[in-house]
Structure 1
Amino acid sequence: MRKLDAIVIGSGQGGTPLAKALAQSGLNTVIIEKRWVGGTCVNDGCTPTKTMIADARAAYVVKHSYDHGVDVRSFTIDLPTIIARKNKVVASSRNNTEKGLQQTKGLELLYGTAVFTGQKIISVMKDDGTTETLTADKIFINTGAKPLIPAIPGLAHVSYYDSTSLLDVDKIPTHLVIVGASYIALEMGQLFRRLGSTVSILEKSHRILPKEDEDIAHAVQDMLVSEGITIHTGAAVTELNQLVPEKIQVTLSTNDILEASHILLASGRVPQSAALHPAATGLQVDDKGYILVNEYLETNVPGIYALGDVKPGPAFTHVSYNDYIILRNNLLKHTRQSTQDRPLLYCMFTDPELGRVGLTEQEAQQRQLPFTVVSLPMSKVARGIETGETRGLMKAIVHRETMEILGASILGASGGEVMTVLQMAMAGRIRADQLRDMMFAHPLFSESLNNLFMQLKQA
């Protein structure tokens, strides 16, 4: 058995910088990766999807160029070129990440599959077929999550895709049916619709985006429907049947029947913890398999930590990276940072995008806070009018007594960037009435925060 100072399992957006920081602090560290460095973000998530979304955006701009006085009579979509560009971007990011790990003094990158076999004992089946046993005082789990494959009658006999395999589809689907209306489902639906697919999205709940306010969810749905996407709500899949290749019968709880060429399963993700055999080292997991941690990201086993999507909580790359920041500062700089009360923020990369930070209106109501809602349609934003980007709205929740910004939803062009302006204001405790009177450069999307908060005069 080889004794180390620290072991990191998984090279995602938290594990990679953490392993480097540990090694640079003088700890003899090994990072174990079973597939490719970079985790979901680089290989299956942010990097490839946003690259392809940009290509689909280019197709959309060309299609609507006539509105701007540019007459493009026809154009074609070259899917192999889109896939090749995506693969090139992913490979560059992955290779740079791998090089950074390999060049870090005191850090060893080990390719293989890790399994707990005892208290802080890890067996690694390496890619060369050999097995090595490791142990360390400090162990960090960053194994992430993978697509959930729901139990649907007939699924075992049907060809289907998940959010990973769809990124390498060899042809543009004639009719893409998406099971679930998650954030990635909506992004992928719009992407392939813009590449030429007929797209149907199936959501078993009564509306999409239940974590968003209803007006925001409706605005997103209207936007997608306006591009020709069909959205079925209150519609669970009751049966799937493969009729012939690229012809799948989809039966819904509403008694509707669809015929799909391709099926995308996008109804959630599950943590990659079971294969680690967490019980062998005494780790507690919840009923879904998430590894339980305290506010300092430590598990019930002293010295073992979990970060990123394998633990409960919002599954976003920036959360995983912030987990790394907390662990680095607490373990190496001897601070006492916590996950409690850190702001919830994210961006859904539909076009236009949805940036969210803090509380929604429905959450403020549940907490019985005194608040005012201010909103502004993008059709009244000068920059939006000038660029032709008038879909969506800006919305903020403001504490009625203190003028503190409690949260915001920005659905529009540069929505994530405008959300970040508000995030910084919230972190710096800049009040909504101060933003209302602040000078912004003209004409920017952020400048319309003046007009958004101008409504506080009548509030």
Structure 2
Amino acid sequence: MNRRFDAIIIGAGQAGPPLASRLTAAGMTVALIERKLFGGTCVNTGCMPTKTLVASAYAAHLARRAADYGVEIAGGIGIDMAKVKARADTVSFNARTGVETMLKSMDLCTVFEGHARFEGPDSVSIGGETIRAERIFINVGGRAAVPDMPGVNEVPFLTNTSMLALETLPEHLVVIGGSYIGLEFAQMYRRFGSRVTIVEKGPRLIGREDEDVSAAVRAILEAEGITIRTGAECISFEPHDAGVSVGVDCHDGSPREIGSHALLAVGRTPNTQDLELDKAGVVMDARDFIQVDEQLRTNVPGIWAMGDCNGRGAFTHTAYNDFEIVAANLLDGDDRKLSDRITAYALYIDPPLGRVGMSEAEARKSGRPLLISTRPMTRVGRAVEKGETQGFMKAIADAETKQLLGAAILGVSGDEAVHGLIDLIYTKQPYTVIQRSVPIHPTVSELLPTLLGDLKPATV
């Protein structure tokens, strides 16, 4: 006999568990299905373990600079990768266990562990059992993409997931992909002591960012001894006695890079291919992302898709916001939608990049009159005091409405300081509101009024 629930949630990532909590609190019976690790990408192979590794790498980097601060460290700096890994594993394990314990102790929530497959628009099979519900929420996340590059299946390669299993230090790590994930791992392992080369197909790193941001990030990484090969239009792989031979086909430098390890960091793909969504009639795009409307509804009534699998956001915070939109509309009588969300994210190299809204290039394409301001971190007292003055701040505003359109803070605490500007954009207030504020000294955020006060008409 088929079991019936008020709702089925497939996946225990960032959106699934809080939605289960809201639905059960409203008196609904919920079946939550997880086929592998509770907590999703963020907890297990994304934010939490990688930022734990970033913290270890920063500690090593700062220790090497101890003399700059008048601190003497005798005996040199050593890296115990087994302990580094164990620390990251512990952080993930504790978070994962917390999510699992919460779900399994939740009243009205039944947890199924196994692979969910659709049998129809209101039915899902799991472990030989079929369960039904009028509402089904898909929160299956994504994984590292493995493009069909020549020779890629003939060599051992790493992804962001398998990188986390390393207990030894790569002698030479070749990172394929000069975007967010690749750059974080590149700097991290360089600071642990590996030789690192980044191979990027495009003409510059993090191509979605403005050219000045891209150039500054490149300078930061190169100053730490990372080799960067851009314009690698024909990337290929061959086995090599030393590990992996990567063909780069760049205009300058050797046509190949020989690495002990190769990391593929060239994008993400959704975990939707084996859900048998066709049996439910759910439409996906050419890249297997589930198509959703402004309220996260699929084309099939009663089925929603949240998080990375819908292609409408690739971050933990956007997945959680998907939950908020769905819950508010279903339970609170609200009318929240995806277009209310302002693009905001961070790149966790050191120093970090905090970003919100439009880039300068996007703002210029809009055709509106612009005001732009930049300020180097060398003129930020907090950065000078910490001895970390790399990077700069930039803000872009509409000259007519005085609305802030976007900002980038590449510098110490940039991922935190940018939130003052995120809040400004969400409140739809003119930038003069922040310009006239009195922030705390000494902080990075105290320079936001100065940055906004220096806004000048954009030059052509």
Superposition TM-score, scaled by structure 1 size: 0.96
State how 1:221-260 maps to structure 2 within 5 Å. Answer: 221-244=218-241, 246-254=242-250, 256-260=255-259
State how 1:158-169 maps to structure 2 within 5 Å. Answer: 158-169=155-166
Larger displacement relative to structure 2 (53-62 or 382-391): 382-391
| 1-structure distance, mates of 2:6, 2:50 | 36
| Paired amino acid for 2:182 | A
Residues 402-447 of structure 1: per-residue CA shift (max 9 Å, x gap): 2211111110111011110111122223322332232111111100
State how 1:126-145 maps to structure 2 within 5 Å. Answer: 131-145=128-142
1:236–1:72 CA distance, 2 compared to 1 (3 A): farther
For structure 1, list consecutive stretches of 5 or more residues without a partner in the other structure.
Answer: 126-130
* Structure 1 residue 326 corresponds to structure 2 residue 325: yes
Q: Secondary structure at the match of 2:68?
A: helix
Residues 246-283 of structure 1: per-residue CA shift (max 9 Å, x gap): 42211222261111000000000101111101111000
Conserved in 2, the CA contact under 8 Å of 1:7 and 1:136?
A: yes
| 2-structure distance, mates of 1:434, 1:118 | 53
**What residue is the counterpart of 1:285 in the other structure?**
284
| 1-structure distance, mates of 2:430, 2:417 | 16
| Paired amino acid for 1:48 | P
**What residue is the counterpart of 1:114 in the other structure?**
116
**What residue is the counterpart of 1:383 in the other structure?**
382
1:15–1:448 CA distance, 2 compared to 1 (3 A): same
Residue 284 of structure 1 and its aligned partner are, at CA, apart by: 0.4
| 2-structure distance, mates of 1:214, 1:162 | 27
| 2-structure distance, mates of 1:93, 1:236 | 40
1:457–1:362 CA distance, 2 compared to 1 (3 A): closer
Conserved in 2, the CA contact under 8 Å of 1:270 and 1:288?
A: yes
Larger displacement relative to structure 2 (324-333 or 151-160): 151-160
| 2-structure distance, mates of 1:296, 1:402 | 29
Residue 330 of structure 1 and its aligned partner are, at CA, apart by: 0.6
* Structure 1 residue 220 corresponds to structure 2 residue 217: yes
Residue 450 of structure 1 and its aligned partner are, at CA, apart by: 2.5
1:457–1:359 CA distance, 2 compared to 1 (3 A): closer
Conserved in 2, the CA contact under 8 Å of 1:144 and 1:309?
A: yes
Q: Secondary structure at the match of 2:424?
A: helix
Conserved in 2, the CA contact under 8 Å of 1:249 and 1:258?
A: yes
| 2-structure distance, mates of 1:37, 1:21 | 18
**What residue is the counterpart of 1:10 in the other structure?**
11
Conserved in 1, the CA contact under 8 Å of 2:152 and 2:237?
A: yes
Q: Secondary structure at the match of 2:292?
A: coil
Conserved in 1, the CA contact under 8 Å of 2:10 and 2:139?
A: yes
* Structure 1 residue 31 corresponds to structure 2 residue 28: no
| 2-structure distance, mates of 1:216, 1:209 | 9
**What residue is the counterpart of 1:411 in the other structure?**
410
Conserved in 1, the CA contact under 8 Å of 2:372 and 2:456?
A: no
| 2-structure distance, mates of 1:382, 1:447 | 9
Conserved in 2, the CA contact under 8 Å of 1:433 and 1:456?
A: no
| Paired amino acid for 2:448 | L
**What residue is the counterpart of 1:61 in the other structure?**
62
| 2-structure distance, mates of 1:78, 1:90 | 19
| 2-structure distance, mates of 1:426, 1:249 | 47
Residue 457 of structure 1 and its aligned partner are, at CA, apart by: 7.0
Residues 197-256 of structure 1: per-residue CA shift (max 9 Å, x gap): 111011111111111111011111111111111111111354312222x42211222261
Residue 458 of structure 1 and its aligned partner are, at CA, apart by: 8.0
For structure 2, list consecutive stretches of 5 or more residues without a partner in the other structure.
Answer: none
Once superposed, what is the RMSD of the aligned Cα atoms?
1.3
* Structure 1 residue 200 corresponds to structure 2 residue 197: yes
Count of residues in Structure 1 that have an aligned counterpart in Structure 2? 453
Conserved in 2, the CA contact under 8 Å of 1:52 and 1:86?
A: yes
| 2-structure distance, mates of 1:263, 1:163 | 11
**What residue is the counterpart of 1:90 in the other structure?**
92
| Paired amino acid for 1:96 | G
The percent identity for this pair of structures is 40
Residue 65 of structure 1 and its aligned partner are, at CA, apart by: 1.1
Larger displacement relative to structure 2 (359-368 or 249-258): 249-258
Conserved in 2, the CA contact under 8 Å of 1:326 and 1:337?
A: yes
* Structure 1 residue 43 corresponds to structure 2 residue 39: no
Of 84, 99, 102 in structure 1, the residue corresponding to residue 101 of structure 2 is 99
| 2-structure distance, mates of 1:339, 1:75 | 48
**What residue is the counterpart of 2:314 in the other structure?**
315
Superposition TM-score, scaled by structure 2 size: 0.96
Residues 355-410 of structure 1: per-residue CA shift (max 9 Å, x gap): 11111111111111111110100001011111111011110001112221111111
| 2-structure distance, mates of 1:370, 1:318 | 31
| Paired amino acid for 1:76 | G
| 1-structure distance, mates of 2:88, 2:440 | 35
Residues 299-322 of structure 1: per-residue CA shift (max 9 Å, x gap): 000000000000022201000000
Q: Secondary structure at the match of 1:21?
A: helix
Larger displacement relative to structure 2 (420-429 or 449-458): 449-458
| 1-structure distance, mates of 2:444, 2:12 | 36
Conserved in 2, the CA contact under 8 Å of 1:202 and 1:236?
A: no
